[in-house]
Structure 1
Amino acid sequence: RHDPLDDGSEIELGRVLLRAIHTPGHRPEHTCLAVADRSRTDEPWLVLTGDSLFVGDTARPDLAVASKEGAEGLFHSLRRLLELPDGVEVFPGHVAGSLCGKGMSSKASSTIGFERRFNDALQIDDEREFVVRAASVGAPKPPNMARLVELNRGPFVGAVAEVAELPARPPGATILDVRSIEDFLAGHAESAISVPLAGGSFGTKAGFVLDPEAAIVVAASTEEEAGHAVRGLQAVGFLELSGYVLGGGPEQMRPVSLDELEALLQAGADLIDVRERDERDSGYIAGSRNIPYRLLAHGGADLPGERPIVTICETGARAGIAASLLAGRGLDARPVLEGGVPAWSARGGQTVEFRRCGS
């Protein structure tokens, strides 16, 4: 049961007053909360902007409705937030790394005045121009989104059961190896998927490559690392994990250096660029094939098995994930881990740029 909030609804918590500001755009029901400390003044002190106004960016509008409709709502919602005084502090729901925006800062807070002056999206006064820009979302939608919405709207979810260490991998379980990529390469379980816990955006990456209906076992180096990984997975809706195991396994994988990459390409190896399309457009290696790593988990491509496959990205992190996914399908796949396409270009390797119509 819940008590719905209308635009302008107020909640009093002692001397603190929360005032609802309906701000559709990211989702039709999205609401910000202006917070006032009434022991000092009735004027708002800060605003919890959730997924509307970020530090340095604004929310993507395509997750619940058509992107154009969401962008139109977001334009007017942002104008309402800009009615707040410049000194009001802004606390958004995300920082850099979230798929809910594309240019947000890693800083956790800002002010209305600072964002009014320096947030590029807020410099656009024309609604049509704003809608065109905001609706042109190139980033993939967050994984597990429909499942998370279902969980949020469904019955109350109580505390999940403790995830225990297992003596061995259960038959048929998916192994998510959260150790460092170096540990994974040195030895891992057959068909294990590598998503290092320390690589950043762990939950998002894992959400892209895991089947929520599968039995999932975490492979970690330590009990502490396993605990961190379990909490990260539970935060993105993986509530029924089978357990965890410590250590790796007998399978090994050797990374590809940039020197070796050149020789492999000349010998006919397939190069898979696992970055997103907009990243690839800024420069890619001629002859490479673009398949974002998140699609490889779901059989998103028919890849020939008779030639070796090399995966490459921007820095090496996603290439490692992609190679583990392909190796799990029985393919001879190895990742470039030492810098990716920018490092290839910096050492004199040839790249191709691609400009799409309207960009």
Structure 2
Amino acid sequence: GMTTQTEEQRQQQSRLDYPINDAVKGEVRARYVPPPGEVGQLALNVGDIVWVLEESDDGWYGGHKDGDENTGWFPASIINRIPRGDCGDDDDDDRRNSALYTSDYRAVASPQAKHRKVSAQLELTETKQRLEVADSERRRLEEMVKALQKEKTDWEHEKRGMMKRYEELHHSKVQVAQEELRRKEEEIRSQKEINKQFEENLRAEKASTSSLKGKLKELEEHCRKLKLEVDMKNRPVQDAGSREDNISGSTAGISRTYAGDSGHRTPSVPHTVPSVLSGSLQAPPAPCTSIPPTSSMTSVGVGQVSASPLSARQPSGGLGTRHV
């Protein structure tokens, strides 16, 4: 119990006294928690008493909490300064720190006063050094944060640029693919139209060919009929011509016979008309007694046979043309 009371008295004494004359006492009016990764800053709660040892131009105080030797930076906006005159016992505490007093508060020389002053100066120097180190670390960290923020900003800018280029490239490729697709579809439609036209032309050609084949068959049949008719018409004429050639040959032979005898051969019996028509004329007999031809024989045997063709002696309708 005695130890606890002594510790409380020491803490109370430290709250009222401070060896640095220019130190400012303050009370925390708002809670402050340093951001993660921030080194050299103090975490403060509402109601904490702090000693401000250094003031920065950018709104920061450097110091430590009362009763704690760890120094660091904290925002000046959360500190309410406490003037030393507001503490009734501050002057008495200062006097007690600088000299020894009797029971009636008479000052006597203190052999530890000078030593306490030197210790305070050393502590102040060390505190300032720690604050400078903390400030340097804080500045370094701020520079690192700025560099990281700049790097992040640059990276985000580069990322946006890359995304924009990617989207443009992708959009361009998509446009090219769509144009190619539309062109192919147009070619296919055009080819289908051409094929459809070809099919229609092919059907028309097939129909025309079929019609021409039918007409060709009709013409061939007509030509065959005409040929048969021509053959039937030419057949009697050829028969009559061959018969006329036979008769002409026979009569010519007879004429040559009579002409060779010079009127001294007796003619044979004249051939009959049926023998002439059948073409069975025989050669004249061997020469016998020369008999001069009479006018009647000449007129009958030669004149009547050779004067007119055989066709002229045909009876009407006997060898007429047959019609098919």
The TM-score by the shorter chain falls in which range? under 0.3
Q: TM-score, normalised by structure 1?
A: 0.15
User: Higher helix fraction: Structure 1 or Structure 2?
Assistant: 2
User: Higher strand fraction: Structure 1 or Structure 2?
Assistant: 1
Task: Kindly name which structure, 1 or 2, has the bigger radius of gyration based on alpha carbons.
Answer: 2
Q: TM-score, normalised by structure 2?
A: 0.17
